[in-house]
């Protein structure tokens, strides 16, 4: 479901809910989809595409959604041409070169950053990581809170069932399934993003919590990429406060679920090993000056610098 919000400057902001057809991103889906698109940009729109991939029709629709929501493909429509095409992005082209089977934790972090910063296509996931005020939550609480987000943005109302599907899918995307509840083999295929350990079950049944703090599997290069992507998405400019790096929308603190102590450790290491940034400490405010000549496209390649194949 796509809804529009009319902003104060009269431009239209688009939100999307329940585009996943109730299916969380399955392990192996993206590999299949990108392999097909390498030779034919319209491959996933062919009438027999779901048979070729070994998935159902609704799963195919879900796959196309996840490919777009993770910023791995961009849709192109040509006037007079019936089928749209899906073009690979620089991110997916790089992944196909260095990690085609999506086995590297770096690849999974990049997929997560793409999802959680995609306000227009992955609205629920964007909101959960960037604007949700609850550290611990239930599906019901998520639905109540995102409805407030919709109201505040003066968007058209969304069906309760769509929000409930999004809440459930969000949890299954980031948390390993409870196999005792379902014996369907297809339903038990997990999302690879569960390995990032960003969400955990609480001690209370039906309650969950964001796992905020140090993530030992979070490479320094991913933090750097997220920091400069934050600069670009939030129009921060070259000087940004530590508070914003922790709490602002699109910030590494929110997107990566890391606390201020961890952020400081990363920033100090970056300052000592590169010229990407400078940390200025004062009694009132700690500010970080970023090198504005650094482009995120360069940093994206840096994420895989030790993994490039000859």
Q: Residue 297 sits in a domain of what CATH number?
A: 1.10.10.1420
Considering the domain architecture, whether residues 181 and 121 belong to the same structural domain is answered as: yes
* The predicted structure's pLDDT at residue 3: 55
Domain's final residue, options 148, 178, 210: 210
* The predicted structure's pLDDT at residue 14: 85
Q: Does residue 71 fall inside a structural domain?
A: yes
Angle at which helix 57-69 crosses helix 29-39, to 10 degrees, equals 80
Q: Which 8-state DSSP code applies to residue 155?
A: B
Domain count, the chain: 2
* The predicted structure's pLDDT at residue 80: 72
Considering the domain architecture, whether residues 40 and 120 belong to the same structural domain is answered as: yes
Q: Does residue 308 fall inside a structural domain?
A: no
* The predicted structure's pLDDT at residue 10: 33
In which domain, by residue range, is 231 found? Answer: 220-302
* The predicted structure's pLDDT at residue 237: 87
Considering the domain architecture, whether residues 228 and 192 belong to the same structural domain is answered as: no
Considering the domain architecture, whether residues 242 and 277 belong to the same structural domain is answered as: yes
* The predicted structure's pLDDT at residue 11: 42
Considering the domain architecture, whether residues 137 and 253 belong to the same structural domain is answered as: no
* The predicted structure's pLDDT at residue 186: 57
Q: Does residue 172 fall inside a structural domain?
A: yes
Q: Does residue 252 fall inside a structural domain?
A: yes
pLDDT beneath 70: ranges in the chain = 1-13, 179-187, 306-310
Closest CA to 65 of 140, 124, 153, 143: 124
* The predicted structure's pLDDT at residue 161: 97
pLDDT tens-digit series, residues 50-107: 999 999 999 999 999 999 999 999 999 877 777 899 999 999 999 999 999 999 999 9
């Amino acid at each position: 479901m796509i809804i529009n919000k009319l902003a104060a400057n009269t431009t239209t902001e688009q939100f999307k809910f329940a585009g996943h057809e109730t299916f969380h991103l399955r392990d192996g889906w993206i590999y299949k989809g990108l392999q097909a698109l390498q030779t034919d940009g319209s491959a996933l729109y062919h009438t027999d595409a779901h048979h070729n991939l070994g998935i159902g029709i609704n799963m195919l629709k879900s796959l196309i959604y996840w490919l777009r929501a993770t910023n791995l493909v961009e849709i192109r429509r040509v006037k007079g041409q019936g089928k749209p095409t899906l073009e690979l992005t620089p991110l997916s082209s790089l992944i196909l070169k260095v990690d085609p089977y999506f086995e590297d934790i770096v690849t999974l972090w990049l997929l997560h950053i793409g999802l959680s910063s995609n306000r227009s296509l992955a609205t629920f996931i964007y909101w959960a990581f960037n604007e949700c005020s609850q550290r611990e939550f239930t599906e019901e609480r998520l639905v109540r809170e995102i409805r407030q987000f919709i109201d505040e943005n003066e968007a058209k109302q969304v069906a309760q069932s769509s929000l409930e599907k999004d809440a459930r899918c969000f949890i299954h995307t980031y948390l390993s399934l409870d196999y005792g509840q379902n014996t369907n083999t297809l339903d038990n295929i997990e999302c690879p993003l569960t390995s990032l350990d960003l969400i955990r079950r609480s001690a209370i049944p039906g309650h969950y919590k964001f796992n905020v703090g140090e993530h030992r599997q979070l490479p320094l290069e991913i933090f750097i990429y997220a920091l400069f992507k934050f600069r670009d998405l939030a129009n921060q400019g070259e000087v940004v406060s530590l508070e914003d790096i922790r709490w602002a929308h699109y910030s590494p603190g929110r997107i990566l679920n890391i606390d201020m102590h961890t952020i400081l450790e990363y920033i100090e290491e970056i300052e000592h090993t590169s010229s990407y940034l400078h940390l200025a400490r004062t009694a009132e405010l700690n500010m970080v000056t970023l090198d504005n000549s650094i482009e995120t496209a360069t940093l994206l390649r840096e994420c895989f610098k030790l993994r490039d194949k000859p």
